[in-house]
């Protein structure tokens, strides 16, 4: 496998491609409205539950207990932490007691939840990004890290920033980098069902 080296021209190509995907553009637009205009706060359980369910549906995040996740988010009182760009809140949102004594780590979901509040501060983690980052780490050695480091959010963001710097992609924000990497990962590492 030989994936083209990341470059501004490559990102522009994939951003243009993204803009042609009507279903993704509409989903992102409706989530942006939901998170930034309709329910920007995370205080009321009803508001948070709607956001959890919408994200779960659009992104297929396999949250089998949206109520437990929404209740957990409300209990964490995350709004001030989001305002301060606190990266640690992602891992706290991720670790949820879904029923008494049973905990699940919904890491990918937590990154998406925070990202939809502040897309240029909180990058999204998913398996496609993981595979692409590991590929370029091996190919070009853009950064030293272990696969497990990607599951600690502050490390994940640090790695993405190193990726952006190494390939001289500073003109693109983290949301644009995400759209590029996600499409690249989906294209080169498709899921086998």
Tell me, what's the pLDDT at 121?
A: 96
Helix 8-19 to helix 174-188 angle (10° resolution) is 80
Do 14 and 180 form a contact (C-beta atoms < 8 A)?
yes
SS3 percent helix, strand, coil of the chain, rounded to 5, is 65, 5, 30
- At 191, the pLDDT band (50, 70, 90 cuts) reads confident
CB-based contacts of 108, cutoff 8 Å, min separation 6: 59, 61, 124, 125, 126, 127
Residues 77-134: tens digit of each pLDDT: 999 999 999 999 999 999 999 999 999 999 999 999 999 999 999 999 999 999 999 9
CB 85 within 8 A of CB 64: no
pLDDT above 70 (res 173) = yes
Is residue 98 exposed (0-12), middle (13-18) or buried (19+ Cβ within 10 Å)?
middle
d(CA 59, CA 54): 8
Position 60 pLDDT exceeds 90: no
**Contact by Cβ (8 Å): 6, 167:** yes
Q: What pLDDT shows up at residue 190? A: 86
- The answer to whether 76 touches 92, Cβ cutoff 8 Å, is yes
Q: Write out the DSSP string of 78-129.
A: -HHHHHTT-THHHHHHHEEEEETTEEEE-HHHHHHHHHHH-TTTSPPP-HHH
pTM of the model: 0.94
* Angle, alpha carbons 139-142-146 (nearest 5°): 85
């Amino acid at each position: 496998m030989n994936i083209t080296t990341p470059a501004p021209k490559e990102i522009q190509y994939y951003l243009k491609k993204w803009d042609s995907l009507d279903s993704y553009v509409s989903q992102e637009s409706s989530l942006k409205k939901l998170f930034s205009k309709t329910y920007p706060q995370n205080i009321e359980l009803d508001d948070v539950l709607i956001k959890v369910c919408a994200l779960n549906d659009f992104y297929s995040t396999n949250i089998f207990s949206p109520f437990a996740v929404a209740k957990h988010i409300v209990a964490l009182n995350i709004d001030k932490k989001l305002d301060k760009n606190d990266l640690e809140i992602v891992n706290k949102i991720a670790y949820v007691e879904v029923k008494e004594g049973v905990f699940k780590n919904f890491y990918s979901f937590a990154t998406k939840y925070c990202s939809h509040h502040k897309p240029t501060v909180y990058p999204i983690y998913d398996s496609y990004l993981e595979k692409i980052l590991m590929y370029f780490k091996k190919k070009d050695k853009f950064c030293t890290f272990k696969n497990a480091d990607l599951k600690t959010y502050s490390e994940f963001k640090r790695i993405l920033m190193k990726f952006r710097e190494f390939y001289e992609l500073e003109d693109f924000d983290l949301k644009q980098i995400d759209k590029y990497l996600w499409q690249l990962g989906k294209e080169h590492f498709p899921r086998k069902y």
